[in-house]
């Protein structure tokens, strides 16, 4: 039962899975600790709103700076000002003890409002690079929680605010992490999972079928592909695998993705922060293809750190030819010890207690 003494926390996260998934995990943990949790998000967050474990979801106007033109800058600043005004009013109504932001410009209004209201605030950075919005906000918060031990641009006076917590993953991921990795052998099916968001799905739809077509017949007969593809690409990708004689399940979205990851021997994916967190908690080997042309090259930094640990192989998109990928897949699947070593190395990097660490930090500020 809630009363006036029940701690209240406001989470602020944009509408992408990379920001919302760790916020979701923290909301679950804070709920277990009997906190009252609200979520502030931008309009994109509506598609995730149904099921988010919060008392209430508040829509706060926000905008991302996408152009240096004076008109675009003015429009973005105006939207952020409107969002900040609404966030200031919201904080006065719900009176949270702490505001936790999960990065991106949608967290800007709630965290600036927290500063104006003199409410304690935490930033959580999911990537190995401190994002541009977070760089603007870092000096104005009480702590910066990080997912990697080394975070680019988190330096100088900001290092005193840094707390390495890891990137929280949802309970379903923790549950699936109890499954041991099954090393592929010559008598069993090898499951290859391929996913990567909207842009990754198109890239992999173009690259994976011709790559797998080049594999030896005996390997193609043992292979089972589970692949994410855009709606408009589904038919051609399915047809390509039929022609290759490869068993494949192709869909635009998988609701049970953590379970599929846990059952896979090898994963080909982008290198978003949530993907890295889930791969390492599950302990699954992967070929990572970072999203190119990002402002801060955050996915390349994420992939590079996991590859350095031995838990993954990083191939930049410009180098991802069907010939190159076919060679890599044949070599890795044909050398099970490499996959097992990578699975163990990835698992060693995982932080299944990240949500506990982050919730403890929130508790310190509340207390």
pLDDT digits (tens, 9 = 90+) for 255-282: 899 999 999 999 999 999 999 999 999 9
What is the pTM for the complete model shown?
A: 0.89
pLDDT digits (tens, 9 = 90+) for 47-95: 544 588 999 999 999 887 777 788 888 888 898 999 999 999 999 999 9
Q: What is the pLDDT confidence band of residue 199, given thresholds at 50, 70 and 90? A: low
What pLDDT is attached to residue 236?
96
User: Could you tell me whether strands 8-12 and 36-41 are parallel, antiparallel, or unpaired per DSSP bridges?
Assistant: parallel
Residue 177 structure tokens: 């992490």
User: Could you tell me whether strands 162-164 and 190-195 are parallel, antiparallel, or unpaired per DSSP bridges?
Assistant: unpaired
Judge contact between 171 and 32, C-beta under 8 A: no
What pLDDT is attached to residue 51?
82
Judge contact between 246 and 225, C-beta under 8 A: yes
Judge contact between 321 and 148, C-beta under 8 A: no
User: Could you tell me whether strands 266-269 and 190-195 are parallel, antiparallel, or unpaired per DSSP bridges?
Assistant: parallel
Query: Residue 107 gets which letter from DSSP?
Result: G
Judge contact between 298 and 151, C-beta under 8 A: no
pLDDT digits (tens, 9 = 90+) for 105-146: 889 999 999 999 999 999 999 999 998 889 999 999 999 999
CA 113 to chain centre: 26
Query: Which DSSP helix (H) or strand (E) runs through 112?
Result: helix 108-117
Higher-pLDDT residue of 293 and 32 is 32
Instruction: Mention every residue, 6+ apart, whose C-beta is less than 8 A from residue 123.
Output: 100, 101, 103, 107, 111, 134, 137, 138, 141, 143, 144, 145
287 strand-pairing partners: 268, 313
Torsion of CA 54, 174, 362, 42, to 10 degrees: -40
Residue 59 structure tokens: 């829509």
Q: Which residue carries 């999911």 as its tokens?
A: 126
Nearest Cα neighbor of 222 from 261, 192, 180 is 192
What pLDDT is attached to residue 1?
44
Nearest Cα neighbor of 289 from 274, 273, 271, 302 is 271
Q: Report whether pLDDT(192) > 50.
A: yes
Q: What average pLDDT does the structure give for the chain?
A: 92
Judge contact between 114 and 99, C-beta under 8 A: yes
Kindly tell me the number of DSSP H helices and DSSP E strands found in the chain.
14, 13
CA 79 to chain centre: 26
Nearest Cα neighbor of 39 from 80, 10, 68, 79 is 10
Q: Which residue carries 């379970």 as its tokens?
A: 259
Nearest Cα neighbor of 127 from 348, 281, 270, 303 is 303
Q: What is the C-alpha to C-alpha distance for residues 130 and 66, in angstroms, rounded to an integer? A: 18
Domains in the chain, ordered, with CATH? 8-168+352-366 (3.40.50.2000), 175-349 (3.40.50.2000)
Q: What is the C-alpha to C-alpha distance for residues 168 and 15, in angstroms, rounded to an integer? A: 17
pLDDT digits (tens, 9 = 90+) for 344-364: 999 999 999 999 999 999 999
What pLDDT is attached to residue 2?
53
Query: Which DSSP helix (H) or strand (E) runs through 142?
Result: none
Most distant CA pair in the chain: distance in Å? 67
**Runs of H (alpha helix) within 95-244:** 108-117, 132-137, 171-176, 197-213, 217-222, 234-244
Q: Which residue carries 């029940």 as its tokens?
A: 6
What pLDDT is attached to residue 133?
86
Query: Which DSSP helix (H) or strand (E) runs through 248?
Result: strand 247-251
Q: What percent of the chain has pLDDT over 70?
A: 95
């Amino acid at each position: 039962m809630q009363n006036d003494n029940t701690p209240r926390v406001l989470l602020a996260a944009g509408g992408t899975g990379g920001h919302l998934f760790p916020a979701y995990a923290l909301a679950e943990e804070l709920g277990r600790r009997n906190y009252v949790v609200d979520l502030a998000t931008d309009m994109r967050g509506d598609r995730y709103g149904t099921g988010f474990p919060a008392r209430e979801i508040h829509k706060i106007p926000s905008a991302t700076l996408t152009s240096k033109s004076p008109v675009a800058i003015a429009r973005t600043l105006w939207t952020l000002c409107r969002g900040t005004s609404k966030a200031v009013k919201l904080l006065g109504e719900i009176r949270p003890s702490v505001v936790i932001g999960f990065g991106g410009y949608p967290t800007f209004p709630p965290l600036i409002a927290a500063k104006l209201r003199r409410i304690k605030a935490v930033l959580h950075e999911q990537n190995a690079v401190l994002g541009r919005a977070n760089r603007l906000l870092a000096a104005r918060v009480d702590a910066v929680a990080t997912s990697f031990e080394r975070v680019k641009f988190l330096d100088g006076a900001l290092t005193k605010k840094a707390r390495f917590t890891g990137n929280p993953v949802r309970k379903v991921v923790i549950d699936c992490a109890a499954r041991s990795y099954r090393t592929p052998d010559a008598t069993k099916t090898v499951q290859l999972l391929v996913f990567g968001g909207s842009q990754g799905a198109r890239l992999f739809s173009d690259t994976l079928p011709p790559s797998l077509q080049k594999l030896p017949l005996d390997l193609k007969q043992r292979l089972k592909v589970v692949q994410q593809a855009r709606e408009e690409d589904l038919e051609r990708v399915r047809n390509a695998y039929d022609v290759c004689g490869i068993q494949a399940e192709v869909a635009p979205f998988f609701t049970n993705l953590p379970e599929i990851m846990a059952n896979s021997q090898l994963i080909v994916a982008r290198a978003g922060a949530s993907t890295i967190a889930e791969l390492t908690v599950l302990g699954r080997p992967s070929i990572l293809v970072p999203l190119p042309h990002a402002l801060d090259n955050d996915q390349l930094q994420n992939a590079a750190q996991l590859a350095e640990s031995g838990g993954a192989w990083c191939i930049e998109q410009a180098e991802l030819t069907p010939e190159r990928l076919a060679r890599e897949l044949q070599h890795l699947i044909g050398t099970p010890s490499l996959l097992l070593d990578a699975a163990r190395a990835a698992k060693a990097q995982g932080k299944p207690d990240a949500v506990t660490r982050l919730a403890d930090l929130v508790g310190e500020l509340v207390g």
